[in-house]
Amino acid sequence: MILTVTLNTALDLTYRVPALTPHASHRVTQVIERPGGKGLNVARVLAALGYETVVTGFAGGATGEVLRGHLAGLPLTDALVTSAGPTRRTVAVVDTSTGDTTQLNEPGPALTSAEWSAFTGHYAGLLADGADAVALCGSLPPGIHVGAYAELIRLARAAGVPVLLDTSGEPLRRGIAARPDLVKPNADELAHLTGSREPHRATRDARRRGAHAVVSSLGPEGMLAATPDGVWQAAPPAAMKGNPTGAGDSAVAGLLSGLVDGLPWPERLARAVALSAATVLSPVAGEFDRSAYEGLLPRVTVTERAEAA
């Protein structure tokens, strides 16, 4: 069983309009509603790939009930904890004339120390209930201390469960010091953490800060992995044109499933890059195109790199 943690779940709303004009009224041509938050996106991909997947985190209020209703239709297990505060919403307004998207993200519920304490006990129980790996994903809602992910990493390590961390800012800085098995920042997050925009140097520095392995997203150029077994770069066969929404979460699903399957690093990276590219190509934002994934997987190029000086 693979466990994903989304502390700041969201109900994602997408509005499509013919053209987005400031200070004007707009007629919405399409509304799409789906459960959101990075860990839920990862879980959806894992479940689609056939992995037994459990999701946890917080959901509350009427919005949380709607979110859980959507989860009920997916092949995964809902182990979310109810919060007193309502689940946040994210609103994406897509200008269909240009393809540009304007994003509005609510902050999430203000959680109490009692709610956090109850969650950590619940989480520890899920780890002990046969978890093969856990992914800690996304932002922290108000009220949770910035060392929350570090605390969850220590609990996973104590339970002997491999843990992947995908967050940013101070939660990433605190979390990486707790020695997760893998962190997956994008180039901007890695630069903010290390102060370097040179990918090899930055991934090496991030490993020195505590992560067992670091996989950095390089956008159209694929992914770079610095691991105890070596350094590899994986790239898709060509630049993919499409919607990158959710591509990073699909990559996390690829890395996590590869870890559970015991794949060597080059094969894990190839899976992650193929899933990410297939998500860009999907006509539905945040989903991956299975036929594209199967066609891309054998065409991903993985090259071993020398350690940076």
| Distance from C-alpha of 132 to C-alpha of 162, rounded to nearest angstrom | 7
Verify whether residue 129 is a known catalytic residue: no
β 10-17/163-166 pair status: unpaired
| Distance from C-alpha of 140 to C-alpha of 131, rounded to nearest angstrom | 23
| Distance from C-alpha of 109 to C-alpha of 113, rounded to nearest angstrom | 13
Q: Which of 12, 249, 261, 289 is labelled catalytic?
A: 249
Contact 168, 136 (CB under 8 A): no
Residue 172 pairs with which residues in a beta bridge?
Answer: none
Contact 5, 135 (CB under 8 A): yes
Measure the N-to-C terminal CA separation of the chain; round to a whole number of Å.
Answer: 39
Describe the strand order of the beta sheet including 88-95 as a list of residue ranges: 30-36, 10-17, 88-95, 101-105
| Distance from C-alpha of 50 to C-alpha of 40, rounded to nearest angstrom | 15
Catalytically active residues are 249
